Amino acid sequence: MSHPIKPAPTPVGLSIVVPVYRGAATVGRLVEALSALRPEGGLEIILVNDGSPDNSSEVCRMLARTASVPLTYIEHARNFGEHNAVMTGLRHARGAYVITMDDDLQNPPEEVVRLYDHARTGDWDVVYTRYAEKKHAPWRNLGSRFANWVADLLLDKPKGLYLSSFRCMSALVVREVTKYRGPYPYVDGLIMQVTQRLDSIEVRHLARSEGRSNYTLKRLVRLWLNLATNFSVLPLRMAIVAGVAMGLFGLLGALAVMIEALMGVTPSGWASTMTVLLLLSGVQFLILGVLGEYVGRAFLSANGKPQGVVREVIGPGAASSPQPAPQRLLLAAEAGQ
């Protein structure tokens, strides 16, 4: 008779992972608001500075010294991307549940406990948040809807589940997700490979209090590529379908030309020929691009492209850092000053 595996005891009930990029003006207020929360089992905060070009590093270091709750500061050696920063933060999280959220205060801190309690009392592995109204620019909302539509096609996820970066995960899911070491992580894709015990709750979404969104069109395209090429071979199958369809169109065109010739009608001229040629060439280059994306990512992964390079860890999470022991002791000593 098999027995369920009991989860290992955790030193804290809730870990909150916050990737920081151009967040110097807001991360202090976020930490202050989170520190006032009193979730079951206590909480810790993990800030991951993803190569931010502003003075986020100085602000986060000050917070590591002055925060009233356990706070771990992790600094990436350069900018690797939001999902890479989240993966780094998850590896240093010690909580029975882990919430990921942005540093821009668009996710109200007071919703954190409600999200945590819903996951904990309902025994859900992952709880996502959804918004009645998103306070993003129209193009960003359109991009989010497109990304979720793509995820519906490519991922084994419940239809209509909104994939938000404000989510709560159990320690089980965190442990399995962080086993992925490739350079192109997509956290939600990894979650779908681990569990289907998913739920969502509606929360408020606030307008940005400072600055503008760090997600440019280029970053969104990179995110879509991570989703499309890391967790599905559907683009390759679509390329096959496109190739077959173009072959059939070519066959029909050849038959039409033969029929015209047999009927004594002069076949259509160069315009139709060029149209077909350009169409076929476009499809061929599209297929080559899809194949090249897969091959290129496999090449970079095989050559050890890092998922993230941690320059420094300060605070309680330094004990779980993969750095050599002497450096961990030094960082822990700095955190205690």
DSSP code string of 77-114: SS---HHHHHHHHHHH--EEEEEE--SSS-S-TTHHHH
Nearest in space to 308 (alpha carbons), one of 102, 82, 76, 93 = 76
CB 12, CB 70: distance < 8 Å? yes
pTM metric for this prediction:
0.77
Count of Cβ atoms closer than 10 Å to residue 66 Cβ? 10
Residue 18 CB contacts under 8 Å (≥ 6 apart), including other chains: 27, 30, 45, 46, 47, 48, 89, 100, 101, 102, 103
Q: How far apart are CA 242 and CA 280, in angstroms?
A: 10
Q: In 184-276, at which residue ranges do the beta strands (DSSP E only) sit?
A: 198-203
| Sign of the dihedral defined by the CA atoms of residues 65, 66, 72, 76, in that order | negative
User: Which amino acid would we find at residue 168?
Assistant: C
Q: 139-166: string of b/e by CB count within 10 Å (b at 16+)?
A: ebeebbeebbebbeebbebeeebebbbb
Each of the 337 residues of the chain gets a pLDDT tens digit; together they read 455 665 666 789 999 999 999 999 999 999 999 999 999 999 999 999 999 999 999 999 999 999 999 999 999 999 999 999 999 999 999 999 999 999 999 888 999 999 999 999 999 999 999 987 765 556 555 666 666 676 677 777 788 788 889 999 999 999 999 999 999 898 998 999 999 999 999 998 787 666 555 556 666 666 666 666 666 666 776 777 777 777 677 677 767 767 776 776 666 665 567 667 767 777 777 777 778 778 887 877 888 889 999 999 999 877 655 544 334 433 344 444 4
Rounded to 10 deg, the angle between the 217-230 and 270-302 helix axes is: 80
| Structure-token pair, residue 330 | 């030094």
Which residues are paired to 12 by β-bridges?
Answer: 95
